[in-house]
Amino acid sequence: MTHLPLWFIPLFPLIGTILLGTIAVVSSGAKKGPSEGLVGTLAVLFPALSFAVVAILACSMPEAGFRETLCNWIDIPLFRADIGFLFDGLSRIMLLFVTGIGSLIAMYSIGYMHGDRGFARFFAYINLFLFSMVVLVLADSLLLTFLGWEGVGLCSYLLIGFWNQDIKNCKAANKAFIVNRVGDIGFLLGMLTLVTIGGSSLLNYDGLAAFINMVIGAGEVVELVLPLSLAGLLFFIGCTGKSAQIPLLTWLPDAMAGPTPVSALIHAATMVTSGVYLLARLSMMFCLLEHVLLIIVFVGMFTALWAAIAGLLQNDIKKVLAYSTISQLGYMFMAAGVCAFDASIFHVFTHAFFKAALFLGAGAVIHSLAGEQDMRRMGGLINKTPVTACVMIFAFLAIVGFPGFAGFWSKDLILERIFVSGPILGPIVYVVGLATAVITAVYMGRLIIMTFFGKYRGDKETEEHIHEAPAVMLFPMVILAFGAIFSGYLWADSIGLTFFRDSMASVVGQAQALYLAANPAAHVNPVIFAALGTLAALGGMYIAWKVFSRARIIGVKGASTVPEGSAASWTFLWDYIHCAFIAVVNILAWFCDVVVEKVLQAIQWTIAAIVEILGDGASILQVRKVRLQLSFSVAGVALLVMLVIFSGGLV
């Protein structure tokens, strides 16, 4: 073996988890917490080591990637699974930014969590999250991916409810966990469907690709489309849960109850994109399933549009970013739905940078305002926190798709791929996507204007304490801001840079070629799309400037940041729909409780009563004289023997 073993990558965060967990448990009883310097160093060191391993492997990776089977996991008749790792073009990109951004955010958290009682516990969770995420991405089979999938769900739960003294945080954590659980059922059933179709070898990604190739070669696609569509749909349900798409998207805005670095790492950059990752991993299967792809496109489109409008109505700075994350994820799913998996992963990649930068910037703002999250009580911060403001403005330009910034390249690519995907459907989805881009620019512009421009609207007392974040927080933010500016140049089609596409080609290239063969794309000049995208961004920014820089925003006194009136009904639309579903289930549960269980119990009781009465009667025969009992038993044996003899013997 000439390269580093792949299991080094998850190993380091695992060691970090164990060490930090031990420190957290040991120091939990002590009056003073553990040394923050030590804990912080450990917490950054292990993800950084992991990142170094990934970087070394990424440089030396051959075209086909590395494959490594660690050991056997499950081996029973009809089912066999190995613990194996797969490092190829797709997992390389994902791992690079998961471990890289993970290390940066761990570093940022040292400043953000300073003085918190659960300092060590927080970093133990972060390391556990990185471990699970690495397993999710690096796994070579769906089963191991599912292990990581559950692991990140658990860490998300633990970190949303990190400040568990507040019941609201605990409720948000429960909501995230339970809604994700609904999606996980889809994932599990999808795996089951695949195993039913072709045995446990289909759970392996290579095995699945080989199977699909065999099916295409034998010309049996038509017979298998139906069961495969079922599997694809179930997997997509899993993705909607993890990636917060319609209908399972309500948990993500609530998940903002967690500490802001968690929102940046888990609920913006990495975990929520694992749904997109899964679609790209299963690209060979999805490229055959036209109907499922159609569903994905529409779900992505509606999610992007709905979340963008909901983002426009929020007052909480983190909620705006949460809805914008949902909206951007919608773009990724739209791209996946037209089989443009490389474009969707590219958007995952650029989005990770600019959204993490936005969240970290928001965190720095909240930090400097001593926990204030309501944008109506901010304003004019550009003079007081210039570095944070610059980082957020760069990230803002990236997310709205300002020419030259990261989001411009990836979003335009997605919109272009959508437009050329079909004669009727393409333009419709394209127009909605473009409208969403305009709204994105509006609400992001609103966020920037309300936070950094105008006059400060909070009370005087906090104004004196506003300060720039410490260097340990600023450094990761600046790095991410550079990422937000330059990461788009890995695949800048218009100026001929296609490094990203080439590195993804070995994974999703075949699937996309198959799709293109079935749905030939019209050729359109990419400059037109770039111009339209730029126009959308500029238009949105102009609207935001016109509307929000003049509007007098009243500095509110109340504590609630929840939108009111029609804004609330739009924001909580999906919560209401969920409630309707839950009501139906409650009625069913009531029915089961009252009718089924009570009736069954009545029958049970009746039988029990009869037996008891019979037993009471029989126990009269049992007397307290030992000799009489013995006589009875001898007489009984004699009776039995006679019965046997007179009935003709045993034979």
Interaction site with other proteins (CB under 8 A): 622-627, 629-631, 634
Q: How far apart are CA 352 and CA 94, in angstroms?
A: 10
The pair of three-digit structure tokens given for residue 475, joined into one six-digit string: 């450094």
User: Which helix (H) or strand (E) is 459 found in, with range?
Assistant: none
Shortest distance, position 641 Cβ to other proteins, whole Å: 12
Shortest distance, position 628 Cβ to other proteins, whole Å: 8
Q: How far apart are CA 424 and CA 176, in angstroms?
A: 37
Shortest distance, position 637 Cβ to other proteins, whole Å: 10
Closer Cβ to other proteins, 610 or 623, answer by number: 623
Sign of the alpha-carbon dihedral angle for 531, 532, 538, 539: positive
Shortest distance, position 631 Cβ to other proteins, whole Å: 5
Q: How far apart are CA 158 and CA 129, in angstroms?
A: 10
Closer Cβ to other proteins, 2 or 622, answer by number: 622
Contact 315, 457 (CB under 8 A): no
Q: How far apart are CA 24 and CA 317, in angstroms?
A: 31
The angle that helices 119-138 and 142-160 make with each other, rounded to 10 degrees, is: 160
Shortest distance, position 589 Cβ to other proteins, whole Å: 47
Q: How many other CB atoms are there within 10 angstroms of residue 383's CB atom?
A: 11
Closer Cβ to other proteins, 386 or 636, answer by number: 636
Contact 388, 426 (CB under 8 A): no
Shortest distance, position 623 Cβ to other proteins, whole Å: 8
Shortest distance, position 590 Cβ to other proteins, whole Å: 47
Closer Cβ to other proteins, 551 or 645, answer by number: 645
Q: How far apart are CA 488 and CA 507, in angstroms?
A: 20
Closer Cβ to other proteins, 596 or 645, answer by number: 645
- 382, with CB counted inside 10 A (0-12, 13-18, 19+), is middle
Closer Cβ to other proteins, 31 or 627, answer by number: 627
Closer Cβ to other proteins, 547 or 623, answer by number: 623
Contact 261, 109 (CB under 8 A): yes
User: Which helix (H) or strand (E) is 294 found in, with range?
Assistant: helix 290-312
Shortest distance, position 611 Cβ to other proteins, whole Å: 20
Shortest distance, position 646 Cβ to other proteins, whole Å: 18
Closer Cβ to other proteins, 621 or 643, answer by number: 621
* DSSP output for 182-233: HHHHHHHHHHHHHHHHH-GGGGBHHHHHHHHHHHHHHT-HHHHHHHHHHHHH
Partners of residue 75 on adjacent β-strands: 80
Closer Cβ to other proteins, 566 or 622, answer by number: 622
